[in-house]
Amino acid sequence: MTCTVRPWDALARPIALAGIRGFDLALACGALLLIGLVLGPVATIPMQIPLDYNEGWNAGFAARAVMPGTGPLYPGPDTLVFNNYPPLGFLIVGAAGRWLVGDMIVAGRIIALLGLLASGALVALCLRRLGLAWRPAIAGGLAMLLLIATWFRVYVAMDDPQWLAHAVMLAGLAVLVDRPERLRGGPLPVVRIAAAALLMVMAGFIKHNLVALPLATTIWLLWLRPRACAVWLAAAAVALAAGAMMVWLAWGADAFADILGHHRVFTPARALFGLQKLLPLIPAGLVIGLMLRRSPHRIALGLVVPFLAVALVTGVLQRIGDGVYYNAQFPTVIALSLALGIALDAAIARPPRLRGTTIGAPALLVFAALPLIGAAPQHLRLSVQALTQREARAAAWAPMIGALAAADGPVGCQMLSLCAWAGRPFGVDMFNLTQKVLTGGPDSGFAAMLAAHRFALIEDDPHSSIHAEARDAIGHDPFADILARNYRVLLTGPGGTRLLAPDPAMSAPSEGR
């Protein structure tokens, strides 16, 4: 009896071992890179440095959610502040800010960072529960964190409920999914289905634009287990109805009017910004396209492929609204990271060959990460700058915060975090008020208040997107015009931000005083 040993058989084990070692090395390098990328944002958490308009806006409503006397959480349509978010995120951040941290913005930043890290861990957990080996599962979660920390770094440790909502929603997915043999076996436990539905509905009561994963999960269950899908839909309907009833009892009809009747300018050309932001993900998409057909994880693919498709479409559509930014693309990043984990699992088990050369999983992982690797030096430099310059940046903002705190009379801030740190009430929401006016709504008397010098100080950034969007829509910014006629520059801050005071040369109308 003769036995023929092919060269590939003799080399298979050494190549596989080398591939595993290379994969582990890539994971270790990715983890070190992630630490470097988040170091600056993490060090900025306690600093009074405004990162984004959303921070002060979220902090203002978090305070209203838990602190009596700060104003209603849902003030209704004819006011100067507008709330189009569900209440649960404000309640969570507000409770942490009031009773644990002492600063609503810092509390929101901490919760956002924990939500981001939890989301990465839950991506890995979902992949592992779907039957993947632990290495590609970790790679999927790490890829999500690295993509966010690089291309969407402004949302790392920024006070915004987006990552908290994603973490809760991914927790629901982790509860629902299981190993393929169990999903193919007996019926799914009703308790697990109901718990998963409850968690995803809870996530929707934190941030209401997270529709891609619930839709994809519904499609998946309908394909995999129609009876389980019926339980899923019933549980979600009950949870949604119960949540809506609690909102009605707590805040009345104004909550639904504010959330559902929000004014926003829609610009179809903005969809291009969403697509441009996804260009660095193309190499990962190519790896996914190459390897998914080789993957044995058909049940996992039945979930992830619809998730990726729905997330891509809904993310691009959401971006056409003014004020909707990169966070609309986060479901696409999460879905792509799940798909990448499945692709890498297939590459470890059955590495592809190109012209006789085996392409191992480490090589595919590096190829998928090429844009990230190329951009890493720049983003590491930004992280180091955030770390080393945080004291100087905070000191640069301190005079403006101090002037707002000492002002004798009402103040208004375009960057709302400045007013929050100054201890001033959340009195005017300039972005949403401008959106309301641009869509044909009244200005709720704001223009008259400006002309009458009702505000002791107004913080304004002439380079803000608020002004740019108004000019794009109607050719000018009506509120900027009134400020130019009635207010003078008292103080200039970082980035050209100005603190404006009433111009004594322009006397206000007597009836306005």
DSSP 266-322: B-GGGHHHHHHHTGGGHHHHHHHHHHGGG-S-HHHHHHHHHHHHHHHHHHHHHTTBT
pLDDT beyond 80 at 105 = yes
Residue pLDDT, tens place only, 155-177: 999 999 999 999 999 999 999 99
- 471, 499: one domain: yes
- Boundary-marking domain end, from 334, 366, 388: 388
Residues 26-42, mean pLDDT to the nearest whole number = 97
In a domain, 356, yes or no: yes
Distance CA 231, CA 234 (A): 5
Query: What pLDDT score does 19 carry?
Result: 65
460-466 long-range contacts (CB < 8 A, ≥24 apart) are 460/414, 460/497, 460/498, 460/499, 460/500, 461/414, 461/415, 461/495, 461/496, 461/497, 461/498, 462/496, 462/498, 463/495, 463/496, 464/53, 464/414, 466/53, 466/414, 466/430, 466/431, 466/434
In a domain, 20, yes or no: no
- 344, 458: one domain: no
Element (H, E) at 69: none
pTM, rounded to two decimals:
0.94
Strands (E) located in 145-286: none
Query: What pLDDT score does 262 carry?
Result: 86
If one counts the domains in the chain, the total is 2
- 51, 85: one domain: yes
- 454, 492: one domain: yes
pLDDT grade, residue 356 (50/70/90)?
confident
In a domain, 16, yes or no: no
- 244, 353: one domain: yes
Residue pLDDT, tens place only, 190-242: 999 999 999 999 999 999 999 999 999 999 999 999 999 999 999 999 999 99
Burial of 191 (0-12, 13-18, 19+ CB in 10 A): exposed
Distance CA 293, CA 298 (A): 9
- Boundary-marking domain end, from 353, 368, 388: 388
In a domain, 1, yes or no: no
Q: Give the range among 42-51, 116-125, 290-299 with minimum mean pLDDT.
A: 290-299
- 414, 345: one domain: no
- Boundary-marking domain end, from 340, 363, 388: 388
> Which residues sit opposite 492 in a β-bridge?
498
Query: What pLDDT score does 298 carry?
Result: 94
pLDDT beyond 80 at 507 = no
- 462, 498: one domain: yes
In a domain, 494, yes or no: yes
CA distances from 109 to 97, 163, 416 (A): 10, 10, 15
Q: 480: Cβ–Cβ under 8 A, 6 or more apart, which residues?
A: 460, 462, 467, 470
Residue pLDDT, tens place only, 379-403: 999 999 999 999 999 999 999 999 9
User: Over pLDDT 90: what percentage of the chain?
Assistant: 78
- 428, 293: one domain: no
pLDDT beyond 50 at 12 = no
CA distances from 132 to 124, 139, 188, 439, 452 (A): 9, 11, 20, 49, 66
pLDDT grade, residue 18 (50/70/90)?
low
- 202, 308: one domain: yes
pLDDT beyond 50 at 11 = no
- 91, 208: one domain: yes
- 363, 403: one domain: no
Domain range holding 44?
Answer: 40-388
Query: What pLDDT score does 76 carry?
Result: 87
Residue pLDDT, tens place only, 276-290: 889 999 999 999 999
Q: Give the range among 189-198, 450-459, 461-470 with minimum mean pLDDT.
A: 461-470
pLDDT grade, residue 506 (50/70/90)?
confident
- Is the sign of the CA dihedral 181, 182, 187, 190 positive or negative? negative
3-state secondary structure of 177: coil
- 207, 352: one domain: yes
The pair of three-digit structure tokens given for residue 66, joined into one six-digit string: 């838990």
In a domain, 31, yes or no: no
Query: What pLDDT score does 185 carry?
Result: 74
Query: What pLDDT score does 268 carry?
Result: 84
In a domain, 402, yes or no: yes
**Looking at this protein, which amino acid is placed at residue 407?**
A
User: Over pLDDT 70: what percentage of the chain?
Assistant: 95
